[in-house]
Chain A
Amino acid sequence: MPVFVERQSQLKLMLTDQILVTFKPGASSARRRKLLDGLGLQLVGHSEFDARRQTLVPTSVRRSSRTLDLANQLVAADDVIAFAAPNFLAQIRKGSVNDPQFAAQWHLDNRGQGKGTPLQDARAIGAWNLVGGGHRSIVIAIIDDGLDLEHPDLKDNIWKNPAARARDRHGRDFVDDSDRYNPRPKVFKAPFDDTDSNDIHGTPCAGVAAAVGNNGRGGAGMAWNCRLMAVKIMAGEALAPHDRIADAIRYAASHADVLSCSWGVAPSPDIESAMTYAVTRGRGGRGSVVCVATGNEHASRIGFPSSDDHAVAVGACNDRGRHSAYSNRGQGLTVVAPSDDDDSRRQGITTTDVSLRGKGYSAGAYCSDFGGTSSATPLVAGVAALVLSANRSLRWDEVRDVLTSTADKIDPSGGNYRRGHSLKYGFGRVNAEAAVTKAKGHRVRRVRKAVKKR
């Protein structure tokens, strides 16, 4: 089967014998059948979460490696087809990353520790004074490579499915069909701190968003009283089909208020469709807030799916309130949040690590050098959860407006802000205290339609 490299992301895509398609609502069944018969395609299934998104395969095995061609022929029938694309197996790029004391968590409360600059943080303490660690009913889905459900600083915040008979007690694994209700990290291979070959990335992300606070143990997450849902889309070095990633987003949006995605893939219309699903169907129609990392490639363009119109695209800044050199820049960047930097003198993020002995970024259950836009993203997801804790009637785009309109315009000279937006910092560094204050008052000036204009 052919393997391609998507030109902008430089990520690999392997062709499969499946095509993902959504028909336009008005397309008659006779017209659909004629189209599929003409191309030698048959329906074999549909998304578990969105029945309109169907899966096709060629009727002849000899045409099984021609799905790119066939999908493009489907797209040409634009009176019938909303979108069609091969169900690629995708290479996923996790963000590059490298104590239990809250005092080390400068990203929440920067008092100049580690030679950082005081107050260059996400203003967590002020937000906590208003809404504590957030409301228990607010759920943040960590869509990643698994979540250590037994971690001592996470377990009390793990989401439990309210449906008593549900088999997905704490989330889902969209990689391993034989163990789909167990979203824990499962793949470990020496060296055990290597992000790409180990399931060790989701647990630190979860801790940044919502590690349990005020429990006399470890550190705290931004939304330390909200709950965490585990949605697994990666396993070691395994590839991930576009339809599984898209369904993971749909699944997460059917339960969670905020989705945190610290990864990037080559563009996919099915994932775009899932992003639309999340903001139109999540939270009873108010829309789930989807926070997505922009990527760590030093690029002048943000990655997909952060570039999607419905994303809160998150970049990174350091402990001195300056742009993290690796953090991708671009028009679609929404906000930045504190993280590490290429400069090793700048501090990383202290958060939870896989608690299995010898596994993870450190030997213990916490690491102090997490970073990248991978770390910035769950921090913003945590702020969004606090905003919703303050005012749960907000729609997803109103939450995004709150985040952008209250963000701090850091580095005003280097940021080159135009109409309030910087290619380096988006609308600025997220400010949890100001965002929660504004959400409580809910006087949101709706001027940010251009947030995602590209």
Chain B
Amino acid sequence: MPHYYATSATPIQLDEAPDDIGVRFEHENASKMAGRAVREITTRTARTSAAASPASHFGRFMLLHESGASTAPVATVVNALPKALASRARCRCSSSASRN
């Protein structure tokens, strides 16, 4: 079961979020790229539904919310991102601590 520790060494239990995936942009302008991706995804979603934005970011990291995202992370990312930004999407989840 994934967990981390408080200062008292008490475990803080985590569950995997099945409908969320984290994306890390690797580029010299990664932060701007992540911001641009979130804006484009948000704009696209706003045109088609009134739901809250499925993407948010901090720096070069983006959180993407889509049903079943964690089971098909690469496909989710490639489908969500603007084409210009998704040319080299790779999954680094295979050794994820969440599996331990």
Contacts and interface: CB of A to CB of B under 8 A. Distances in A.
B4 A71 contact: yes
A254 interface: no
A240 B100 CA distance: 26
Given A15-B22, A237-B56, A68 B15 contact: no
Interface residue tally of chain A, by bracket? 35 or more
A13 interface: yes
Contact of B61 (A5, A7, A16, A72): A16
A66 B58 CA distance: 19
Nearest to B23: A1
A238 B15 contact: no
Interface string A12-42: 1111110000000000000000000000000
Contact of A272 (B4, B6, B20, B56): B6
Contacts of B93: 1-2, 65
Contacts of B97: 2, 15, 65-70, 72
B45 interface: no
B58 A175 contact: yes
B84 interface: no
A2 B16 contact: yes
Interface stretch (A79-87, A163-171, A409-417, A444-452): A79-87
Interface string A209-225: 00000000000000000
Nearest to B42: A189
B45 to A, nearest CB: 12
Interface in B44-98: 52-53, 56-59, 61, 63, 70, 92-93, 95-98
Given A65-B96, A197-B53, A12 B17 contact: yes
Interface string A36-78: 0000000000000000000000000111111111111001001
B21 A269 contact: no
A89 B53 CA distance: 17
A6 interface: yes
Interface residues of B, number: 34
Nearest to B96: A2
B43 to A, nearest CB: 11
Contacts of A62: 92, 95
B17 A239 contact: no
A65 B92 contact: yes
Contact of B7 (A5, A6, A269): A269
A14 B6 contact: no
Nearest to A68: B97
Contacts of B23: 1
B4 A68 contact: yes
A265 B41 CA distance: 26
B22 A3 contact: yes
A3 B63 contact: yes
Nearest to B22: A1
Given A2-B98, A197-B52, A241 B14 contact: no
Contacts of A12: 17, 20, 63
Interface string A259-277: 0000000110100110000
A319 interface: no
Contacts of B70: 2-3
Contacts of B96: 2, 15, 65-66, 68
B6 A267 contact: yes
A89 B13 contact: no
B20 A273 contact: no
A10 B37 CA distance: 26
B92 A5 contact: no
A85 B52 contact: no
B24 A17 contact: yes
A3 B12 CA distance: 15
A13 B88 CA distance: 25
B9 A78 contact: yes
A267 B12 contact: yes
A14 B63 contact: yes
A89 B12 contact: no
B14 A5 contact: yes
Interface string A170-199: 000001010000000000000000001100
B14 A269 contact: no
Contact of A68 (B7, B17, B98): B98
A23 to B, nearest CB: 13
Interface of A: 1-8, 12-17, 61-72, 75, 78, 82-86, 89, 175, 177, 196-197, 236-241, 266-267, 269, 272-273
13 contacts: A1-B21, A2-B93, A4-B16, A5-B17, A12-B20, A66-B95, A68-B96, A71-B5, A84-B5, A89-B63, A197-B53, A238-B57, A239-B57
